[in-house]
Structure 1
């Protein structure tokens, strides 16, 4: 194609939605107010937008927030009007719409952005301490509002009860909670320790777990910064299942 055709075919698509995907790996946020995003994920913007690095507060809770938010221990708050483009290391972007009362727990390394209306908190998953899971410190998000999470490849949503590899576990419904399981039989079979020797067991009923076809290292061990998103519209959590 010639230059004009290339430019025309790759221009942003205006749909009027707050969160939309320009490609499977790039999120376009139509900003008019405030949003929170993963530090280092901004790849471009138009309009009048200001950025503020949101350090966690002091004490234990502040330490936990620094642990999960990655890249210097901060989130990024974007304020103003315009279009904000986010991505994270070429990962696929999934847009979810949380209704009032909806809650989901997400690995801190897999959060890309969420609307200002979404409540968030950091909780230490003490039941899985000692595993290699990046989900040791997870972000609990509550609706209403849109959130964007990232996955390596197309995710799979598995109903509970289920056991998963901690490093492939992206998120789970807030009505279930994981416990760590150490499978010595797998260790003996492989002849060495591996990710499969530690598993997360979700024993609750009527829940779900989102897994990806990739074993991601703990956010503390990865330097995460980014590139990510896709063309489409947000779906409710129930539609995503």
Structure 2
């Protein structure tokens, strides 16, 4: 961590590549190569076409240091050791290229809801995640947890969020119809929430 809002990554020709969200590079020193990641073909390509997600990634290789940040958001690191995490792709900063990734819909509602897709990461390596403000971790083990889709950052891979539709609340809180839908998390696990609902009018996953 260069600071709470900037990540410094040191690379050399023998080190694994980094996969980062496009547009998060703010500076670099040395010789760096930035290349479009693509979706990898197959079913992942079909999911990308259907969802519009997963295409805004780039591979970073080279020798030197690259500095990554996103709109002065807070950054925190997740170390995976043969584990997995599900991530709102709008909160992704970067991850080790050794990690396996896939685009997944929330249950069977992704296409119907117009973009409720997320990024699944698995393996051993580091994931850099951004939060618009200090992140909060909520334990879902004891009771159901409901989160505004724009505020959900990441969650346990064993949790499969469902859509909760509450039209009665839509005229009373927040931005109206945008908050008539919440993500419901049930069972053992956690969800990380940011103290922001994103830019008004933005998509759930960006």
Output the TM-score relative to the length of structure 1.
0.73
- Residue 182 of structure 1, CA deviation: 0.6
Taking the aligned partners of 1:184 and 1:218, their CA distance within structure 2 comes to 19
Corresponding residue of 1:182: 165
**Larger fraction in helix:** 1
Taking the aligned partners of 2:164 and 2:28, their CA distance within structure 1 comes to 44
The alignment partner of 1:68 has SS state of coil
Q: Structure 1 stretches of 5 or more lacking a match?
A: 1-20, 223-241
The alignment partner of 1:166 has SS state of coil
CA contact (8 A) 2:107 2:161 kept: no
* CA RMSD in angstroms, aligned pairs only: 2.2
Corresponding residue of 1:154: 134
The alignment partner of 2:53 has SS state of helix
- Residue 59 of structure 1, CA deviation: 6.0
CA contact (8 A) 1:131 1:198 kept: no
Number of residue equivalences: 193
Higher relative contact order (CA 8 A, sep 6+): 1
Corresponding residue of 1:120: 101
The alignment partner of 2:2 has SS state of strand
Matching of residues 1-241 of structure 1 within 5 Å: 21-32=1-12, 33=15, 34-58=17-41, 61-65=44-48, 67-69=52-54, 73-100=55-82, 102-129=83-110, 130-131=112-113, 136-160=116-140, 161-187=144-170, 189=172, 193-204=176-187, 206-216=188-198, 217-218=202-203
Over 3 Å counting, the alpha-carbon distance change for 1:167 and 1:131 in structure 2 is farther
- Residue 30 of structure 1, CA deviation: 1.2
Which protein shows a greater Rg? 1
CA contact (8 A) 1:105 1:171 kept: yes
Taking the aligned partners of 2:42 and 2:99, their CA distance within structure 1 comes to 23
CA contact (8 A) 1:159 1:208 kept: yes
The alignment partner of 2:70 has SS state of coil
Corresponding residue of 1:236: none
Over 3 Å counting, the alpha-carbon distance change for 1:81 and 1:143 in structure 2 is same
Q: Which runs of 4+ in 1 moved over 4 A?
A: 57-60
CA contact (8 A) 2:150 2:204 kept: no
Output the TM-score relative to the length of structure 2.
0.84
Q: Structure 2 stretches of 5 or more lacking a match?
A: none
